[in-house]
Structure 1
Amino acid sequence: MLGELNLELEVPKWSLSPNGKSIAREFIFANFKQAFEFMTLCAQYAEEIDHHPDWSNSWNKVMVQLTTHSAGTLTALDIQLAKAMDAFAAQVQRRD
């Protein structure tokens, strides 16, 4: 569990679910290639930390929801992955 973590400071672009057990964000890219590159970077990192997102993709959009299913709530792993996803999105968007 996260305790006193300030989500607005840690992951300001993410929205907390009404039940407080997950965070979500929609990433929008210039095109499908960027969206797919983002998803590939995220997938590789998710495998490294053994923590996987619930997500979907539609052309240039990637919708992501993070929660720790084994804990039944939001944990530090979700915040870690959210921060990495934010960084990967910025990296991909700078390339084109």
Structure 2
Amino acid sequence: MIKPNLLANDFDFAKTLPEWQVNQSNPALVRVFEFKDFKSAFQFMTLCADFAEELGHHPDWSNSWNKVSVSLSTHSMKALTELDTTMASAMDQFALQIAGQ
């Protein structure tokens, strides 16, 4: 397994991932996605799961009807890495894709 790159100390989360919150005490990116119904939330999770398998980086998440709560962190490095921002960006795009259906 290739060691992922840590994010620069001055990485601009607000500009790059404006919908995500950063938990600095336990390094993680967190976001709650909300959809029109359960089926849409499940479609979103399926797209994310397929991408996570390709990327080899899996979210910590939970689903409650139309909401999907997500936490991303590179546990092996106890830090945020490019894997987390890549996954977060993809999840943002998948959410837009589902919302547009």
TM range (shorter): over 0.9
1:94 aligns with 2:97: no
Higher helix share: 1
Q: Secondary structure at the match of 1:27?
A: strand
Structure 2 partner of 1:2? 7
Q: Which runs of 5+ in 1 are unaligned?
A: none
Among all aligned residue pairs of Structure 1 and Structure 2, give the percentage whose two residues are the same amino acid: 49
Q: Kindly provide the amino acid, as one letter, of the partner of residue 96 in structure 2.
A: A
User: Could you tell me which residue of structure 2 aligns to residue 23 of structure 1?
Assistant: 29
Distance 1:10 1:20, change over 3 A: farther
Post-superposition shift, 1:18? 3.7
Q: 1: distance between equivalents of 2:28 and 2:40?
A: 25
Mapped contact 1:20–1:74 kept (Cα < 8 A) = no
Distance between the aligned counterparts of 2:19 and 2:87, measured in 1? 13
Aligned residues: 95
* CA deviation after TM superposition for structure 1 residue 20, in Å: 5.9
CA distance in 2, matches of 1:18, 1:50: 23
Q: Is 1:69 the equivalent of 2:75?
A: yes
Structure 1 runs of 4+ aligned residues shifted over 3 Å read none
Of 85, 97, 100, 1:79 maps to: 85
Q: What TM-score results when the alignment is normalised by the length of structure 2?
A: 0.91
* CA shift digits 1:32-69 (9 cap, x unpaired): 00000000000000000000000000000000000001
Gaps of 5+ in 2: 1-5
